[in-house]
Amino acid sequence: MINVCCKTDEELIEGMANGSIEDFHTFYERYISFTYKIVYSLLKSREEAADVCHDLFLEFYTKAHSYQPEKGSVKSWIAVKAKSRTIDYIRKSKRTVLKDRIIFNREPSFDSVEESAVTQIEASRLKEMMKQLPEKQQEAIFYNFFQSMTHQEIADKLGRPLGTVKSWIRYGLQNLKRAYLNDTSNKRRGKHE
């Protein structure tokens, strides 16, 4: 029998994948400080960092089988998952805060009417420009920015590799930026002629 404290990270992951609570405890003790530092550096809140770490370690235990040694060390696997989970947490928190602000900020101001009109015009222009993009770029951008789905969620939904989805979004945004800048400069030229 191998002494648990002397097990390699890979052996602990393998034990966790097989349901070992003892290996999970050792893994937790070995990596809680490392994980907490990553999460806290992004959140700046002890309570929220503790919550995210709790969720992460549950995920590490239940999805230990997903670790692939050929893709990197256990420590890098933890770091990537910690950063990704924290960013997802921040995105979801921002959506909640934004929703709350919208609900509680219903008093119209003179500026908000003008800003609203400009925003609607810009949104209309953006929708027209989106229609010019290839279908897959449109779809990926829609899910990412309008449905607040992560790149991985989009890849799962569309049944495509993560890298492909990221490329669609990146190229789609580049195409939108180019179209927007061309449209804006054409409008400026039209006004001065």
Give per-10-residue mean pLDDT for the chain (193 aa). 71 94 94 94 90 94 92 91 90 60 45 58 77 88 80 90 91 85 70 47
Structural domains in the chain, sorted by start: 1-106 (1.10.1740.10), 110-188 (1.10.10.10)
Instruction: Give residue 115's pLDDT.
Output: 58
Give the pLDDT of residue 15.
94
Give CA separation, 3 vs 7, 8, 60, 75, 116, in Å: 7, 10, 21, 21, 65
Please tell me the predicted confidence (pLDDT) of residue 80: 92
- pLDDT at residue 11, rounded to an integer: 94
Whether pTM > 0.75 for this model: the answer is: no
Cβ atoms of residues 42 and 83 within 8 Å: yes
* Residue in 166, 167, 184 with CA at minimum distance from that of residue 129: 184
**How confident is the model at residue 192, as a pLDDT?**
46
Of 193, 173, 183, the C-alpha closest to 125 is 183
d(CA 160, CA 89): 24
> Which pLDDT belongs to residue 108?
46
CB-based contacts of 157: which residues, under 8 Å, 6+ apart? 143, 149
